[in-house]
Structure 1
Amino acid sequence: MSTAMPTTFTWKGVRVPYIAPWTGEIREQPRLERRPLNRGGGIAYVDEHRLYDRHAGILWLRMGAVRGVGTPILAGVNSQRQRQAMDRQLCQVCGVTTYGRADGTHLYLLAEREGGSITEGEQTASPPIHEDCAVEALRDCPHLRERAVAARVERPEPWGIAGMLHDPATLAPRPSTKRGGLTFLPYTSLKLLWAVAHLDVVSLHGCTPVNLDELLALTV
């Protein structure tokens, strides 16, 4: 496993997270078509590339991989790097592995929460994060600290994807009421045939809550 430090980019004095997309990476999405039953059924891109458009048999959003080209979209996520960060347990901010702690755990910081704590088996599309990087994120995003929770996680396990569902009859998108209109789907769901995956999702096990004030104090 490579431990090389990815290139660091800053924008207006703020470090651009590893998983953030850049305008140069945004791609026009191809037209969808129905895939023949003898090829699995569901939906496919009309010009689908077998090596790049699917991962584990699931159709994925098309996005470039030219980090640093254009302007960063700090509130967005590059689907390819997010999936890579989930698969390899890379920090969502710096892109370096989060393996190496003596206790074998990984820190997860989940935003957009109204109190409470991370629960056993909870699903998330947020990759792990280093302590220092978490402090940086909390410092640079004041609203994040107000609605975030953190936990040390022993076992992040593959669960499914967050994607855009499409109507089997019309192929029109069927957005959910969640942010971004994405639907969380486990790998066992038949609805995956009619979804375009945007994000990888894991379930969190062996969770120990982390107090954000204590986290900030430890890294001063």
Structure 2
Amino acid sequence: MPYVVRWSGEQDGAVPVVVRRDRRGIGYGDERAFDRDERGVLWSRTPSEPGRGRPEFGKVHSLRQRLAMAGLRCQVCGGPADRTADGALWLIDARDDELLSEREETFHPPLCRPCAHRSVRACPHLRSGVIPVRVRAFAPSGVSGVLYAPAGLTAQPVETGTFRFGDPRLPWVRAHQLLMQLADFFVVDLDDLDT
């Protein structure tokens, strides 16, 4: 089961989003240190109980996705992603004619070689719609999440989207996934990589 997949037993708690006392963004009434990252971004609070319930393919567990992305962990097994002198292994969700040469952005963490091979063989979507690349330069560039607006002492969701670091609206966002910008990369053939 993919490390980043969300399970049916891992439902978001009923933690209300509130306007911070300084009125400069949102938070949780019982906010804890791990609710924010090093940039001060507020993150969705979801219990981490992999294996509890059924896997919900297509849904991502916020904390595990962020840990995999920031720590270069394989999105499938949670172990170290494959890294060589040529870079880390990523599968880009694109066709050859859509791949940008100068930079790409993705919400999908890197992979180890065995999991990359297994994933492409097992998933019909991946067989026809991803490009394996080695990436030498990468950096977090933003988050996907929900933008809130003040509504008295509470806050109401107003928009879902992608918000780049440096966006002045970021203090009003509850993030769900970390976005990574990839640069200095080249396409590889998975069949040429040792399994």
Provide TM-score, normalisation by structure 2.
0.86
Q: Which residue in the other structure is 2:138 paired with?
A: 156
Alignment of 1:52-201 (within 5 A): 52-56=34-38, 57-98=40-81, 100-101=83-84, 103-111=85-93, 115-168=97-150, 171-175=155-159, 181=160, 183-201=161-179
Taking a change above 3 Å as real, the CA distance of residues 121 and 169 of structure 1, as seen in their structure-2 partners, is: farther
Does the CA-based 8 Å contact 1:112-1:144 persist in structure 2? no
Deviation, structure 1 residue 112: 6.1
Comparing 72-81 and 110-119, the one that deviates more: 110-119
Deviation, structure 1 residue 99: 5.2
Deviation, structure 1 residue 65: 1.4
Which protein, 1 or 2, shows the higher relative CO under an 8 Å CA cutoff with sep ≥ 6? 2
Structure that is richer in strand per residue:
2
**Structure 1: stretches of 5+ with no match in the other structure:** 1-15, 176-180
| Identical counterparts, % of pairs | 34
State the superposition RMSD in angstroms.
Answer: 2.3
Q: Deviations over 1:24-53 (max 9, x none)?
A: 22223422221122xx721112332x2232
Aligned residues: 192
**Structure 2: stretches of 5+ with no match in the other structure:** none
Q: Which residue in the other structure is 1:3 paired with?
A: none
Q: Deviations over 1:183-212 (max 9, x none)?
A: 2222211111110000111211111023xx
Deviation, structure 1 residue 142: 0.3
2:28 pairs with one of 42, 45, 48: 45
How far apart, in 2, do the equivalents of 1:75 and 1:114 lie?
Answer: 23
The question of 1:25 aligning with 2:10 is answered: yes
